[in-house]
Chain A
Amino acid sequence: MLRRSSVLMGLVVAALCLGLTACATSGGSGSGKSITVGFINPTLTNPYFVGLQKGAEEGAKQYGFKLIKTNSNNDAGTQYNQVVDMVNRQVDAIVVSPIDAKGIVPAIKRANSAGIPVFTLDRGAAGGKVTSKVMINNAKAGEKAANFIVGKLKQRYGSPKGNVVDLEGLSGTDVANEREAGFQKVIKKYPNIKVVANQAADFDQEKAFNTTKNILQANPKVDAIFAANDDMAVGAERAIGSTGRFAPIGSKKHIVIVGIDGSPQALAAIRSGKQDATVSQNPIREAKTCFALVNEKLAKKKSIPGTSVLPTMVITKQNINSQKVKNYGLWGEQVKP
């Protein structure tokens, strides 16, 4: 009885593994000297990181790298294991977007001791030797969003005043902390602007939807909402719609919404007039910039900058079709399936 089922089980696993190798994108051993890059993405459930992966794929193709991609499902332990997997596979370079600046340090040290250069994307590391990091200034992005809201409130009341809601990102992440700090830094300068609610919606659309519904229930007068990412901005827009508080842009009752990222849904919402603005970054360009640096360092053996800070851009309905925005890149419209 045991033997028959074992054979059956074996056959099933064998069939499955054949399927696996078939859907492996570029498994097998390397051909001679091509450079292999291990790319470790924290998640694929957020469009920003889908953009990073797309940029990594384009960059690898451009420079003829072999690319090994993984997704850590937002778990720092998984991410650590994946870095070690890459070290054991003896890749030539590791590109990682750390889930946590401190939690990634032992993994980077493992790569360091194996002599494999580490590049970080979007988020930095608190220790270990990072060859080069590519990121945006998240505090600046928060400031830009705050300044946009201040400008709109000035238009509405003649002076900067009003009630503002602040939807924070996932507590404990550097990105959430920095964006929040940037936002607060600007808003604090205006004593007549009141932050009537300050809640963490964890960068999550569903959470932002529910949180905003509660906030709107408690606050009959809200002039503007700052969302630390676009997924939360979109959630807030749905909450405004479902509670009957929607009024078109230009109306006195309109609730101004600003997000950060430039995600596909946000761009659509900006085009349709539900969202006022997003402070866009460009993950595709960020990843490609990083891969260009890998190429400079490994193929051309040149020295490269330790840090590259890429610009952000405020995108609104007015400028979304402009040449300037086109040059910057609407990544959200490039990652759409």
Chain B
Amino acid sequence: MSEVSSETTNREQEAKPERGGGPKEFFSRFLTGAGPIVVAWLILCAILAATAPNFLTFNNLTQIVVQSAVIGIAAVGETFVIITAGIDLSVGSAVALAGMLAGIVMQGGGGTVVGILVALGIGTLIGIFNGFSTTILRITPFIVTLAVLSMGRGLTLAVSNGKTVYGFPASYNAIGQGSVLGVPYLAWITLGVFLVGYVVLSRTVFGHQVYAIGGNREAARLAGIPTRWVSFLVYAIAGLCSGLSAVVLTSQLGSALPSNATGLELEVIAAVVIGGTSLFGGRGGMGGTLVGVLLIGTLSNGLTLLNVSPFWVQFVQGGVIFLAVLIDALNRRREGG
């Protein structure tokens, strides 16, 4: 089965040198397919460094990573889903519901560890529900996760009575607000999750199966890959990531709002696609997603520092996403890919 999976993921394999040492090789593998976006992001940073006051300070740069934590961690899960040619629209609601239930448990006296476990557990359960519905009940992922988007938000409102929940243990809030070695925990967590995501996606049999399913589901099935099981797991992973995003968001705010993370799924999908992962499945990677997430984070940070009129900010953000995807599309057409 590994023969076929490596055949269907030919393109990734070609671009990657065979196992090499050195950090240079690591990064070139890590960022496979994300070349244009990396350059775009670096240029954006250079321009902001030259024009925006206080852009190039240590605090601000770590803040960009911290600001990207919620989108970024959810985007790791979404990358898996999209590479299988699936989609998960329930991310925002999953983050809200997982955070809200964790909040309610902690407000009722639960400790930090319990709160984290509840958030991760609820997120994973939502992912399992998505996975079950798409693989066993065979409902289109778009429709299933759209329904879950609505159900999740509705449940969040119902369990909270529409009220903000707060009063978490100090050690829980410290996750979102503390730092070690001068770098916020959230930056460590985000980068750590990306690293784990990268290793699972690019260095394990499971990861190869994920690519194989996205490349050609039928071929993958014939080759003996347990396509349903892998698809199911991919949604569960996305749910787990949403749960972790919920911990990040609620610990940052020290409270859980019923309106939390509304529309987050669109930003997450945008980040994944900007990073070079194809909505048709089979190609893309974790490094690209990281850069896509950082591009979005840098942009919103930079627009604030530059004092762009709030009436224009959303347009500019959308415009950059469009351009990034356009260039990527043109690039691929030229490659004949």
Contacts and interface: CB of A to CB of B under 8 A. Distances in A.
Instruction: Name the interface size band of chain B.
Output: 35 or more
A82 B334 contact: no
A110 B312 CA distance: 27
B257 A69 contact: no
A249 B187 CA distance: 61
A74 interface: yes
A76 B311 CA distance: 19
A10 B327 CA distance: 10
A12 B327 contact: yes
A85 to B, nearest CB: 4
Contacts of A17: 43-44, 47-48, 51
A269 interface: no
A46 to B, nearest CB: 13
A206 to B, nearest CB: 16
B254 A5 contact: no
Contacts of A200: 162
A13 B259 contact: no
A132 B312 CA distance: 30
A218 interface: no
B167 to A, nearest CB: 8
B308 A24 contact: yes
A102 B173 CA distance: 13
A84 B63 contact: yes
Contacts of B309: 23-25, 69
B185 interface: no
Nearest to A88: B60
Interface in B141-183: 157, 160-164, 166, 173, 176-177
Nearest to B315: A23
Contacts of B166: 102-103, 126
B301 interface: yes
Contacts of A126: 166
Contacts of B324: 9
Nearest to B336: A1
B82 to A, nearest CB: 21
Interface in A206-228: none
Contacts of A80: 252-253
Interface string A1-20: 11001111110111011001
Nearest to B301: A85
B52 interface: yes
Interface in A40-75: 41, 44, 53, 67-71, 73-75
B304 A85 contact: yes
B63 A13 contact: no
A106 interface: yes
A13 B323 contact: yes
Contacts of B331: 1-2, 5
A92 B48 CA distance: 21
A88 B163 contact: no
Contacts of A41: 310
Contact of A82 (B35, B39, B302, B304): B304
B63 A9 contact: no
Interface in B244-265: 249, 252-255, 257-263
A105 interface: yes
A17 B261 CA distance: 28
A21 interface: yes
A306 interface: no
Contacts of B53: 27-30, 89
Contacts of B44: 13, 17
Given A2-B36, A26-B307, A106 B260 contact: no
5 nearest A-B residue pairs (beta carbon): A171-B162, A71-B310, A5-B331, A172-B162, A6-B39
Given A13-B320, A88-B59, A171-B161, 13 more contacts: A2-B331, A5-B36, A12-B323, A17-B44, A17-B47, A21-B51, A24-B307, A28-B53, A75-B261, A81-B301, A82-B304, A88-B63, A89-B60
Interface of B: 35-37, 39-40, 43-44, 47-48, 51-54, 57, 59-60, 63, 66-67, 70, 157, 160-164, 166, 173, 176-177, 249, 252-255, 257-263, 300-314, 316, 319-320, 323-324, 327, 330-331, 334-335
21 contacts: A6-B35, A10-B43, A14-B43, A17-B47, A17-B48, A20-B302, A24-B308, A29-B53, A30-B53, A81-B63, A82-B304, A84-B63, A85-B60, A88-B57, A88-B60, A89-B54, A102-B253, A102-B254, A103-B253, A126-B166, A172-B258
